[in-house]
Amino acid sequence: MIKKEHTQLVSIKRACELCKVSRSGFYKWLKKPVQRGTDVWGQKIKRIFHKSRKTYGTRRIKKQLETEGIVVSRKRIGRKMSEQGLVAKARRKTRATTNSNHDHPVAPNLLNWQFDVQQPNKALEKKPVTLKEYVSRMPEEQKPKADKILEINPKHEVFKSLQEAYEKDKEKLKLYIDLLYNQALLMEELPLEDPVEFANNICKVMG
């Protein structure tokens, strides 16, 4: 092949004679633009990449090419993508914000799908939630376990009876405290821990 840098070593005329081409043909060839081969692989990879909204990497592009009857390695696909500046988007991980599979207490459904309220802030006034309802809706293992605390006015007659029992009969003191505690549960509409024992204690006091 005759190149421009070779003209310093041999004349154009002698070079054309050695290559068996005419001088006019040589000069005509010089004026033609350089033709490069079309990058078929790169065009196919680019088409698949943009069709996937820039989410396909070498693995999925390779599978797509195989469906079209084209077998090519992932390494070559990666090189073609790098030459064209094609970078697949990383899939964003989704984070679960709601978990209904739990044993925690669930707030009561006060509205009960009744949305036809004439005035604002009136739906909650129709059915107030008592402490008993809230505790009863809780799972058994989630119900609060607290120490028994009994508050009594020291000026009340009951306090005097408790003070006498404390000084003379500790068993009677325990009986009085159990009765007062269960009475407080009933007043708060809470279930008794042992209704049979409560009834027996009343009978002991009245007997």
Q: What is the pTM of this model?
A: 0.33
Q: Please give the full DSSP string across 65-127, using - where no structure is assigned.
A: HHHTT----HHHHHHHHHHHT--PPPPPPP---------S-----SSTT----SSTT-HHHHS
Residue 34, pLDDT above cutoff 70: no
19's enclosing H/E stretch is helix 12-19
Q: How confident is the model at residue 114 (pLDDT cuts 50, 70, 90)?
A: low
Dist CA 137 CA 171 (whole Å): 36
Q: Is the pLDDT of residue 152 over 80?
A: no
Q: Where are the domains of the chain?
A: 1-34, 40-84, 157-206
Average pLDDT over residues 12-26: 80
> Cα(124)–Cα(126) distance, rounded to whole angstroms?
5
User: Which one of 64-73, 149-158, 172-181, 188-197 scores highest in mean pLDDT?
Assistant: 64-73
Give residue-wise pLDDT tens across range 120-136: 666 555 555 566 666 67
- pLDDT digit string, tens, across residues 157-183: 777 887 887 788 888 888 887 888 888
